[in-house]
């Protein structure tokens, strides 16, 4: 698919660059978009500023710096923005599904930047994105994207880690090495994902024609290569036997629980490096802190929390 610069598809401008602490809060007022990765970036509702018309619903906001750099959302109501936010207006008529596709395309470029280092202020406009959307994208349902339906705003799901408990990883998972073939012994070009110790694309570096040997609903861990990265695998796959370990759950693991645990496990990355690899023995010795109930992992809370996040309805 042909790539074009972002500014050929959108009119791009800096947002209002308002400071929230200088504005008057008002329930049911104008949405205030900041550099948050939750609730479409909306952190408050404020009173309309005299003589300053809010941006209309349907435009895209993109964060240019901060921890959640390149978080991109289609705004569902009129809004103002904080500093370091750009606003994208389509140059042509664009469906909601198309806008969401470009939000995803923009956010996938996050690896090019660093918070408080190389931020996206200057280069966002020239970011390369696909000229059009993939076939079938328009058929995907995005009915639950509306911010009014975000459970996070209503249910107040919070992470209070002070009440969490530590659990040994070998209590939760069976840790094993992959027994699959090396990529050179397989046929490229099929539909079976081949997982390696990559730090991108869920660890999948190619697809092969041979049948998958590892089940969906497991987590892969990078023993070497990009050491310490974990990925929830949603479909059956093959994996390199060299630098990937497979975590098979000893409990019922949904995609929501899997993504929660993958994120917690990722926090252990700092303990490992190229010279201190994350082998089976060391993985079994890892302890992770989790929400708990009656001294057991609170699986229900983990699932509810992930379901409360933006885009979770598309998992």
Burial environment of residue 184 by CB neighbours within 10 A (0 to 12, 13 to 18, 19 or more): exposed
16 confidence band (pLDDT: 50, 70, 90):
very high
**What's the pTM value of the predicted model, to 2 decimals?**
0.53
* Sequence-distant (≥ 6) Cβ neighbours of residue 102 within 8 angstroms: 9, 10, 60, 72, 88, 129
State pLDDT tens for residues 114-164: 655 566 778 888 989 888 887 777 666 555 554 443 333 333 455 677 789
Q: Which segments within the chain are labelled E, that is strand?
A: 3-5, 10-14, 25-33, 42-46, 60-63, 72-74, 79-81, 85-90, 128-130, 165-168, 173-177, 188-195, 204-208, 218-222, 230-233, 238-239, 244-249, 287-290, 292-293, 296-297
**What pLDDT, on the 0 to 100 scale, is given for residue 39?**
81
Q: Is the pLDDT of residue 313 over 70?
A: no
Fold of the domain spanning 161-314? Adenine-n6-DNA-methyltransferase TaqI; Chain A, domain 2 (3.90.220)
Domain 3-149: CATH class, spelled out: alpha beta
174 confidence band (pLDDT: 50, 70, 90):
very high
Q: Is the pLDDT of residue 62 over 90?
A: yes
What average pLDDT does the segment 234-239 reach? 95
What average pLDDT does the segment 212-218 reach? 95
Strands 188-195 and 238-239: parallel
Separation CA 45–CA 92 (nearest Å): 29
Which residue ranges does the chain devote to CATH 3.90.220.20?
3-149, 161-314
């Amino acid at each position: 698919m042909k790539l074009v610069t972002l500014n050929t598809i959108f009119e791009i401008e800096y947002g209002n660059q308002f400071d929230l602490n200088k504005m008057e809060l008002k329930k049911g007022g104008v949405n205030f978009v900041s550099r948050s990765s939750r609730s479409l970036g909306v952190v408050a509702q404020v009173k309309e500023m005299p003589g300053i018309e809010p941006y209309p619903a349907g435009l895209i906001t993109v964060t240019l710096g901060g921890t959640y750099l390149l978080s991109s959302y289609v705004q569902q109501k009129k809004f103002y923005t904080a500093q370091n936010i750009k606003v994208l207006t389509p140059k042509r008529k664009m469906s909601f599904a198309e806008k969401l596709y470009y939000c995803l395309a923009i956010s996938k470029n996050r690896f090019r930047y660093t918070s408080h280092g190389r931020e996206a202020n200057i280069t966002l406009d020239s970011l390369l994105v696909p000229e059009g959307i993939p076939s079938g994208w328009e058929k995907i349902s995005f009915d639950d994207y509306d911010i009014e339906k975000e459970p996070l705003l209503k249910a107040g799901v919070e992470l209070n880690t002070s009440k969490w408990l530590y659990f040994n990883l070998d209590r939760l998972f069976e840790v094993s090495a992959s027994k699959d073939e090396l990529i050179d012994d397989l046929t490229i070009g099929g539909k079976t994902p081949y997982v390696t110790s990559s730090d991108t694309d869920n660890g999948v570096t190619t697809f092969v024609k041979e049948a998958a040997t590892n089940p969906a609903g497991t987590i892969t861990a990078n023993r070497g290569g990009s050491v310490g990265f974990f990925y929830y695998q949603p479909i059956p796959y093959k994996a390199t036997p060299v630098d990937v370990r497979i975590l098979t759950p000893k409990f019922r693991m949904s995609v929501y629980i899997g993504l929660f645990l993958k994120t917690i496990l990722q926090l252990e990355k700092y303990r490992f490096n190229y010279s201190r690899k994350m082998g089976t023995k060391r993985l079994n010795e890892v302890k992770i802190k989790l929400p708990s109930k009656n001294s057991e992992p609170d699986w229900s809370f983990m699932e509810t929390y992930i379901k409360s996040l933006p885009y979770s309805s598309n998992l």
